[in-house]
Structures are given as structure tokens and as C-alpha cells.
């Protein structure tokens, strides 16, 4: 099954003021009002089973459109949210909205029980007890099962204040939530963290996938990561799969799931549901 989405990429605002402090201050003050103005939105990128092509879930990705500058990349505004401390409130909003929508779609029969929701969590959200509180209340208020929620953390979460973060991760695990290590291989954490922390999934960063068709070294690295994850009984998700050749490579290597432009870019909630329906309809035929 190959369902390709033909949606046009968003072109993010980029200008020479990008680096100026006025620009940055404008973004900051606009971000302070963004929650109240409802300027944030969640997009969803399907996660797909490498073996059978079924949609195994989706990653919720934050989108922000500023009134003056238009769509700004999360790579640009997430660091500002982190610097200003706004990440706690916005991060809670992301978890709350994502859980509420997923449960709504489940109740409508649009999302199947085996399909899981992934949400990104910044290392900054580990600096206080807010994360645990917001995950608990998002699950309680939505009624979503903790088994349906995967939290994506990054390697820096394992490096900073690791005793505290380990305790929070263990509490999240005991709620029944799944933990994925995002952008694996790009940080500087030691491999021993993989067994010290309760990690269920490894997400291979898309920089490793970029050149696997041309670089045997990168291909060997991805193979080694998949093999290591499997020996540690973790599932592996590859990011940045943008061609059938890369998908076939992952199939050969026994990777579990993938995300990438080959299947679909991140899309709005409505488009995601349309995509899922279209595919299950095709399968039923
Ligand atoms: P991430 O968590 O690693 O998310 C995957 C990113 O890779 C997404 O970028 C997605 O659009 C992109 N991607 C997926 N497949 C492909 C592909 O085949 N080719 C290419 N070129 N790109 C692909 P996006 O949505 O721009 O997000 C960037 C980063 O911003 C995320 O990386 C994540 O670190 C952060 N982010 C996004 N939403 C949130 C959020 O709600 N909370 C936090 N803390 N961080 C977020
Ligand atoms: Mg992620
Ligand atoms: Mg990632
Ligand atoms: Mg990444």
C-alpha cells in the first residue's frame, strides 16, 4: 500500500531581520499572546508500519502562525518558548489538545485502538512537576488510555539533572505511558542511558537516513542502530523516509515503523482523518 500525499510544503517566513533583535523581540511578545489568540495548531504526521504499510499512529507537531510574519518553523519558535519559560504552558496545551482530539477520533471510530499518539516533550518541561501534572490531567480529562500515548523525549533530557528526570520518567511509565527517545544519535548521551532510563522506542534521527542510499557508512550506522534497539527489546522508528528505496532498505533491516514525506508530510487534523479514512476504505475494497 502506497498512499502518497500531494500537499504543498509550508514555506516558513525567512528574512534578513531573522537575526535581528527586533525580530526576535517581536516573536517573543507575539508568542506571549499566542495561546490566548489561538494562534497555535497541531499538525499530525502519520507513523507507518514498515512491514505492512498500516498507519500505526501519528506524531503531533506544533504549528504557529504569527500575525505579522506568518508561519514560523518550530525549529525557530520552540527555543524561544524554552528561553522565556512559556514552554510549560504551551507544552501543557499541546498534551491536552492532542489527547482530547485523539480520544474524540477514537470515539467517532476514526482512529483504531492499535493506533498511538506521539507528543514531543521539551527537556525544559522536566524542570518542575508541571509535566507530570499536565499528562495526568490531560489523560483524565480526555479519557484517553495512557497506553495510547507515547511521549517523545530527547537525549538532553537524559543528560540534564538525570536523577530528577529519571524519577519523572519512572512516574510517567507507571501511569502506563510509553517513552520514545527522539532524534537518537544526534545528542551526546552515553549508550548506558538506554538501559538506565525506561525507554521503549528509539527514533532514528532523519540526518542518518538522509544519505543511506549513497553512503555505506550511514547505511551501516542505521543498520547498527536497528540491531542494537532490537537486542535491547526496543522498537525502532525511522524519521525522514522520503523515498521507496529508503523504505525498502528499512524493510530489509527489520525496522518497525517509519515517518516521512514518502508517506505523508505533517497535515492538519482534518486532513489526517481524511487520509486515514481514504486508506482504510482502499483496504476494504
Ligand atoms: P521532531 O520531533 O524530530 O519531528 C520530526 C520533524 O521532521 C518534523 O519537523 C517533520 O516535519 C520532519 N520530517 C518528517 N519526515 C520528514 C522527511 O521525510 N523529510 C524532511 N525533510 N523532514 C521530515 P517539524 O514539524 O518542523 O518539527 C521540528 C521539530 O520541532 C521537531 O522535531 C521537534 O523537535 C520540535 N517540535 C515540534 N512540535 C513540538 C512540540 O509540540 N513540543 C516540542 N517540545 N517540540 C516540538
Ligand atoms: Mg518528535
Ligand atoms: Mg524526531
Ligand atoms: Mg528529528
Q: Measured in angstroms, how far is the CA atom of residue 123 from the centroid of ligand 4?
A: 15
Tens-place pLDDT, residues 249-281: 999 999 999 999 999 999 999 999 999 988 877
Q: Is the CB of 179 under 6 A from ligand 1?
A: no
Q: Is the pLDDT of residue 18 over 60?
A: no
- Give per-residue burial for 186-210: e unless 16+ CB within 10 Å, then b: ebebeeebbeebebebbbbbbebbe
User: 0.90 cut: is pTM over it?
Assistant: yes
Q: Is the CB of 78 under 6 A from ligand 1?
A: yes
Q: What is the ipTM of this complex?
A: 0.98
Tens-place pLDDT, residues 52-111: 999 999 999 999 999 899 999 999 999 999 999 999 999 999 999 999 999 999 999 999
Which residue pairs, CB below 8 angstroms and at least 24 apart, start in 111-117? Answer: 111/276, 113/148, 114/56, 115/55, 115/56, 115/57, 115/58, 115/148, 116/47, 116/56, 116/57, 116/148, 116/149, 116/150, 116/178, 117/57, 117/58, 117/60, 117/144, 117/148, 117/149, 117/150
Beta pairing partners, 71: 65
Measured by CA distance, the residue closest to atom 21 of ligand 1 is: 240
Side-chain-side CA neighbours of residue 97 (13 Å): 20
Measured by CA distance, the residue closest to atom 13 of ligand 1 is: 240
Residue 75: nearest ligand to its CA? Answer: 1
Q: Are strands 201-204 and 178-184 parallel, antiparallel or unpaired?
A: parallel
Q: Does residue 176 come out as left (phi exceeding 0), alpha (psi in the -120 to 50 range) or beta?
A: left
pLDDT of 6 reads: 43
Percent of the chain with pLDDT over 70: 93
Q: How far is CA 111 from the centre of its chain?
A: 18
Q: Is the CB of 75 under 6 A from ligand 1?
A: yes
Amino acid at each position: 500500500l502506497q498512499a502518497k500525499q500531494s500537499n504543498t510544503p509550508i514555506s516558513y517566513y525567512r528574512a534578513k531581520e531573522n537575526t535581528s533583535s527586533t525580530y526576535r523581540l517581536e516573536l517573543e511578545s507575539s508568542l506571549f499572546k499566542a495561546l490566548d489568540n489561538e494562534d497555535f495548531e497541531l499538525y499530525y504526521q502519520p507513523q507507518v508500519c514498515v512491514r505492512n504499510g498500516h498507519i500505526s499512529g501519528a506524531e503531533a507537531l506544533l504549528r504557529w502562525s504569527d500575525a505579522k510574519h506568518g508561519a514560523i518553523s518550530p525549529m525557530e519558535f520552540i527555543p524561544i518558548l524554552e528561553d522565556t519559560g512559556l514552554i510549560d504552558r504551551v507544552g501543557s496545551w499541546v498534551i491536552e489538545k492532542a489527547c482530547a482530539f485523539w480520544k474524540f477520533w477514537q470515539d467517532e471510530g476514526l482512529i483504531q485502538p492499535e493506533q498511538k499518539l506521539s507528543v514531543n516533550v521539551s527537556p525544559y518541561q522536566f524542570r518542575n512537576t508541571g509535566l507530570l501534572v499536565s499528562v495526568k490531567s490531560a489523560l483524565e480529562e480526555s479519557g484517553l488510555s495512557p497506553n495510547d500515548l507515547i511521549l517523545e523525549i530527547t537525549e538532553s533530557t537524559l543528560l540534564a539533572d538525570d536523577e530528577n528526570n529519571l524519577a519523572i520518567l519512572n512516574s510517567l511509565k507507571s501511569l502506563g505511558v510509553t517513552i520514545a527517545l527522539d532524534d537518537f544519535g544526534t545528542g551526546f548521551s552515553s549508550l548506558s542511558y538506554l538501559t538506565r532510563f525506561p525507554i521503549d522506542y528509539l527514533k532514528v534521527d532523519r540526518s542518518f537516513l538522509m544519505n543511506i542510499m549513497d553512503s555505506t557508512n550511514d547505511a551501516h550506522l542505521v543498520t547498527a542502530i536497528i540491531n542494537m534497539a532490537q537486542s535491547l527489546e526496543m522498537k525502532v522508528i525511522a524519521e525522514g523516509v522520503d523515498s521507496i528505496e529508503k523504505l525498502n532498505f528499512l524493510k530489509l533491516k527489520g525496522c518497525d515503523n517509519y515517518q516521512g514525506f514518502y508517506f505523508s508530510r505533517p497535515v492538519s487534523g482534518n486532513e489526517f482523518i481524511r487520509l486515514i479514512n481514504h486508506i482504510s476504505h482502499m483496504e476494504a475494497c
